[in-house]
Structure 1
Amino acid sequence: MSEDTFAFRLKVLLEHKKLSLQQIADAVGISRPAVHKWTRGGEIDYSNLRRLAAFLDVNWVWLRYGDEAVKDLGIVGATELPMTDLRRRYTAEIMSNEARMKHAQELAGIVTWEWNLVADELIYSSNCAKLYGREIHSNEEFWEILHPEDSIWLNEDAMKDLVASQAPRVWDFRIILPDGTIRWIESRVATLLDDAGRPVRVVGTTIDISARKEAERALQQRLQLLNDAARIAGFGAWRWLRGQDTLIVSDEWCRLFGVEPAEAPRHYVELSDHIHPDDRAAREAAVNDALARRADYRVLYRASLPDDTWRLVVEQGRARVSPHGDDVWLTALCRAAHPADMAAAAPHAADNSAGAAMT
């Protein structure tokens, strides 16, 4: 329960004056359950509020609305809450929660900050130097540690735009520590308004994401290596997640089939649009058999190219259960056929023709 509520002030006064709910009920002329509701956050009407305040010998505005209302109205002799056991417990709970939050924040490496727009004051949490390598007391000191390439876009103009738009932002940027080390930082920023809708504060949280950025860079390098290798070997690839009907297609597959990556198929059924109509049935039979047996397949077919020509393609695929066992993945490699592929396929085609003649 917040300390700035009617219910809290009433409970503190009851404890301080050693009054029971029944004594309050008798003095105000209502039922005991009604008083109990007030201490639980229930509303109180004006007449009962005036009688209650008179009985407790406090200002009724303060009792109902608190210190800020008294200050706004210019009422002298403002009442202060006594330090009762309830307030002590409440204060101790707040301090304990703040200590736990600060400890968790420091363990997670999260730095919080607040920029008071009215006073132009910048305040960082106590673990600021651990992240930035130095204390930061102003925006000017922050600009000094910002990486030159990021200072092009993250600057005073960006801060002005943030305040003007009043929209939250997430910024990834680099800083340079005193020893020359470069760190990647993620900052989540928001502008806070006063009751009149005017920007008064900018608050943010920042955290070191250097490890994540390094992992992303390493992954990008591995993907580039695989793409280069696929291009050199002439292998295109695709994977179909059957349960989600999601198709993932490599750039080399697009080159092999004459398709722009932006126009690549995104669903399995769309693959047939790139296969010669006379070859679709045989390929589909091979794929369905592999799906049924969770096995491999190999098929030779003609790929239909956008210029109305065709290219002979070998497709080798494998159907298997997904790692979590809740789906079936179909993965395939495609490449331009070699003369040996056509020679290997000829006896199989002849056997099929002979079998058809006998029937």
Structure 2
Amino acid sequence: MLQRDFTKRPRAKKTLKETQQYLDLALHAGNIGLWHWNIKTNTLYFSPEWKRQLGYQDHELESRFEEWEERLHPEDRDSTLAALKAYLEGRRRGYEVEFRLRHKDGSYRWMLARGLLQAGPDGKPYRISGCHLDITERKRAEEEHARLLIREQTARAEANAARQQLGNILERISDAFVALDRDWRYTYVNQQAATLFGRRPEDLIGRHIWTEFPEGAGQPFHMAYEKAMAEQVFIQMENYYEPWDRWFENRIYPSPDGLSIFFHEITERKRAEQAARESAELLRCQNQVLELIAEGAPLRETLDFLLRVTEAQCPGMLCSILLLDPDGVRVRHGAAPSLPESFTRAIDGESIGPQAGSCGTAAFRREPVIVEDIATDSLWDDYRDFALKHDLRACWSVPIFDEQRRVLGTFALYFHNPGRPTGRHWQLIEMATHTAAIAIVKNRETEALRASEERLRLAVIGGRVGIWEWDVSTNRVVCNGQLKAMFGWPEAEDLTSKKVMGAIPSEDRLRIDAAIQRSPSHPDYDVEHRILWPDGSLHWIATKGRVEYDAAGNRVRIRGVSVDITDRKRAEEETRRREALFAEAERIAHLGSYEWDLRDSKVYRSEELCRIFGLLPDQFEPTFEGYLERVHPEDRSTTKQIIEQAFRELEPFEFEERIVRPDGAVRLLHSQGKWMFDESHHPLKLVGICQDITERKQAEDQLRRSEERLGSGKRCPVAEPGYHHLVQLRRRGSRHR
């Protein structure tokens, strides 16, 4: 029996060893580490596989609780220890926890720990055994899955947001937008497109484009859609949609799923482009007419060409220009290349007036006159039969004005059918009237210049106007006989610039040189100077000249005219002499004068009058109230009454008044005034004097007081004592005097 037992024991050990090997192999293959913790003895066992999971050999890691605890991830430590404690205290039914442990290489590995508590005979826990399962790869897979899931959800959200954003963008853009599938059905219609279509977007989704808009089939954009879809090419085009009478720009983007089409209305732009082309054509025509004007073509030829190019812009239109006589009463034929000659002859010389057809009425009213139907408009009562005889049914006429708004004539458009002008017609009217005004004014200026030149020629011959030209390069002076006479030279005298300038006093010559030396931007000069005749007498002439320059800015020629002003200068000198004598006389007599011109309200005051009032000329108030402010307060009311009475009755006046100077000094004045009248006895101006009689009054008072002291009893025949007035209005003859 014992021998049998001894025989069985080696086999049992062998079996146990094999079983342990199988277990170790299984644990290693399953990456499972075992652990045992004897709670009573606080001894712990970590299996070699448990240690290998953390990168350690069996001998490198002690089986202690602290070895496990200190390797817990900081974020997992509290929750893991709390779970273990709860399990040991019976507050947790099982022990299964996931946490991270620090590997030997410093990284952290995810572990799934499971444990089972064993109780002793007393029912108290004394040991807990469990295993560690390395779930790092599973965790990584879960995290990757979570990331992929989040990425997918994010992508879906972004796609939805992109679709929403695209929808928002398509609704916000100014362009209309539609999307079509390959079956030509609408898949998207923004609000701009729906508004253009006059439909709601939801009413078009899923509908066939050519069923909804059959009138579009065969249009240029239809063929462009077909081409873009078939060839998968982008197409941008502009097209006129005749059913709506509107222009659109299309941008067609193909894709395998259909078409995306952006389009917007460009009708206004197209009309502007057409207007620009028409304006350019009008400008070209106008320039042709202006070239004729610049070349000096006859007025009739210029106006005829203007009307022909205007008629070419609008077939069926017949143009006419009538010219207003200088008396402003009748109109004359100017040009009408396409109207019947018999019609133009019939209206030539007709008077303007309130019922004078379109043209005569337009000139009379000074405004456009639009007759839509000659057959029914009362303005044509006197001319209707003749107009209808020539198949003229409408006539629109516009006055032609110069820059001063004077009527020069009329421009008219005739038609064989009744109607009103369009915007295009008004463009033609504006161009034609403006250009015709230039031609007419230029013609009148040319005629006036010719007449002026003729008058000048006669004036030069009959008057004392000297005409001359100085060639700077040769210093030769060419002039007429009148200029030589002004210098006191015989007509046969040959002149040079040196001889001419030698006859001018040096101080005057300096002024002439300064005027001539100015830059080419100021070529004209105007100067008055003296000349010394051969007999030694001094004379005055006024000269207007123009300096001509070459391309390099050098003076090449000076032309001008001169007029003898000797008599005027002598008269001015005499006037200055008399004025000086008069001013000196005023100063000696303390008498100032003034003159008030009622026509322009200008007031002249002599220097002595300013001195009497103690004021500078610019300190005088230009009003009656300002003058009264200078009068002594005690005399102001009486002075005001006297002057107002004189204004009412237009009679001469004379009185005494006191004034107060700015320095406070009081002066006594003797004032007189008289009205000047025209032939119809309308007042033209008021002239008067103010004499300072302060010293005279003081002398009279002193003499009177001396006589009283002497007791002579004799009184001098002077004014009453004090400064109160004569203050009376003396009527010096009638106002018709």
TM-score normalized by the length of structure 1: 0.62
- Higher gyration radius (CA): 2
RMSD: 4.1
Corresponding residue of 2:631:
275
1:239 aligns with 2:607: no
Change (3 A) 1:164 1:283: same
**Which residue, 460, 465, 484 being the options, matches 1:105?**
460
Distance 1:210 1:269, change over 3 A: farther
Q: Do the aligned residues in 2 keep the contact of 1:302 with 1:310 (CA within 8 Å)? A: yes
Q: SS of the counterpart of 1:308?
A: coil
**Shift in CA distance, 307/323, structure 1 to aligned 2, threshold 3 Å:** farther
The structure-2 alpha-carbon separation of the partners of 1:262 and 1:124, relative to structure 1 and needing over 3 Å to count, comes to farther
2:581 match: secondary structure: helix
Shift, 1:152, TM fit: 3.8
Residues 516 and 547 in structure 2, CA contact (< 8 A), matched pair in contact too: no
Question: Is the CA contact (8 Å cut-off) linking 2:516 and 2:525 kept in structure 1?
Answer: no
Q: Which whole-Å CA distance do the structure 2 matches of 1:120 and 1:41 have between them?
A: 52
1:208 deviates by 0.5
| Match runs of 1:94-133 below 5 Å | 101-117=456-472, 121-133=476-488
Give the equivalent residue in structure 2 for 1:37: none
8 Å contact from structure 1 (residues 147, 176) kept in 2: yes
- What is the one-letter code of the residue matched to 1:293? E
Report the Cα distance in structure 2 between the residues aligned to 1:98 and 1:164, rounded to whole angstroms: 27
Q: Distance in 1 between matches of 2:455 and 2:599?
A: 44
CA drift of 1:308 comes to 2.2
Shift of 1:279: 2.5
Mapped to 2, the partners of 1:96 and 1:185 lie a distance apart of 26
Shift of 1:190: 2.6
Residue 150 of structure 1 aligns to which amino acid in structure 2?
Answer: D
Q: CA deviation at 1:227?
A: 1.2
**Does the CA contact (< 8 Å) of 1:246 and 1:268 recur in 2?**
no
Deviations 1:327-352 (A, max 9, x none): 34222211223244554975978xxx
Of the structure 1 ranges 186-195 and 201-210, higher mean CA displacement relative to structure 2 is found in 186-195
TM-superposed deviation, 1:248: 1.0
Alignment partner, residue 501 of structure 2: 143
Quote the sequence identity (%): 23
TM-fit CA distance, 1:167: 4.8
TM-superposed deviation, 1:132: 1.3
Q: Are the counterparts in 2 of residues 247 and 265 from structure 1 also a CA contact under 8 Å?
A: no
- For residues 310-338 of structure 1, the C-alpha deviation after alignment (integer angstroms, 9 at most, x for no partner) is 21222122234256744342222112232
1:264 Cα deviation after fit: 4.2
- Which SS does the other structure have where 1:150 is aligned? helix
Superposition deviation, residue 175 in structure 1? 0.4
Question: Can you list the C-alpha shifts for 1:35-92, whole angstroms capped at 9, x where unaligned?
Answer: xxxxx999xxxxxxxxxxxxxxxxxxxxxxxxxxxxxxxxxxxxxxxxxxxxxxxxxx
> Match for residue 94 of structure 2?
none
Structure 1 residues 136 and 222 mapped into 2: Cα distance closer, same or farther (>3 Å)? farther
Asked if 2 retains the 8 angstrom alpha-carbon contact of 1:7 and 1:41, the reply is no
1:236 shift after superposition: 1.0
Q: Which has a greater percent of helix?
A: 1
In the alignment, the residues of structure 2 paired with residue 215 and residue 284 of structure 1 have an alpha-carbon distance, to the nearest angstrom, of 41
Structure 2 counterpart SS, 1:151: helix
Shift in alpha-carbon separation, 1:308–1:167, aligned structure 2, 3 A: farther
By how many angstroms is 1:101 displaced? 4.3
Letter in 2 for 1:145: A
Count residues with an aligned counterpart: 271
Any conservation in 1 of the 2:475–2:498 contact (CA below 8 Å)? no
Task: Give the superposition deviation at 1:146.
Answer: 0.5
Which residue number in structure 1 is paired with residue 655 of structure 2?
299
Are 1:173 and 2:526 counterparts? Answer: no
| Residue 517 (structure 2) pairs with residue 160 (structure 1) | yes
Distance in 2, matches of 1:149 and 1:242, equals 42
Per-residue deviation, 1:234:
1.4
Match of 1:186 among 522, 525, 542: 542
Q: Given that residues 542 and 563 in structure 2 are in contact (C-alpha distance below 8 angstroms), is that contact kept between their aligned partners in structure 1? A: yes
Matches within 5 A, 1:193-272: 201-272=557-628
The 8 Å contact of residues 240 and 268 in structure 1, kept in 2 or not, is answered as no
Q: 1:170 to 1:95 in 2, by over 3 A?
A: closer
The 1-side partners of 2:466 and 2:571 are apart by 22
- In structure 1, runs of 5+ residues without a counterpart are 12-32, 35-39, 43-93, 350-359
Q: CA deviation at 1:129?
A: 1.6
- Closer, same or farther: CA 98–330 of 1 in aligned 2, 3 Å: closer
2:469/2:560 contact within 8 Å kept? yes
Contact 2:520 2:553 in 1 (8 A): no
CA drift of 1:293 comes to 1.9
Q: Which runs of 5+ in 2 are unaligned?
A: 1-291, 302-317, 320-333, 337-448, 701-717, 728-737
Q: Distance in 2 between matches of 1:6 and 1:271?
A: 62
1:310 corresponds to 2:659: no
Superposed counterparts of 1:42-53, under 5 Å: none
Letter in 1 for 2:487: Y
Select the structure with the greater relative contact order (CA < 8 A; seq sep ≥ 6).
1
Deviation by residue 1:264-321 (Cα, 9 ceiling, x = unmatched): 4555543223222442221121112112222122222221212122212221222342
For 1:41 and 1:136, how far apart are their aligned partners in 2?
A: 53
Cα distance in structure 2, aligned partners of 1:152 and 1:197: 22
Secondary structure, counterpart of 1:255 in structure 2: helix
- State the shift of 1:199 in Å: 6.2
**Deviation digits for residues 218-257 of structure 1 (CA, Å, limit 9, x no counterpart):** 1111111111111111111112223422211111111111
Q: What's the secondary structure of 1:259's corresponding residue?
A: coil
Measured after TM superposition, the shift of residue 143 of structure 1 is 1.4
**Are the aligned partners of 2:657 and 2:725 in contact in 1 as well (CA < 8 Å)?**
no
The one-letter code matched in structure 2 to 1:146 is I
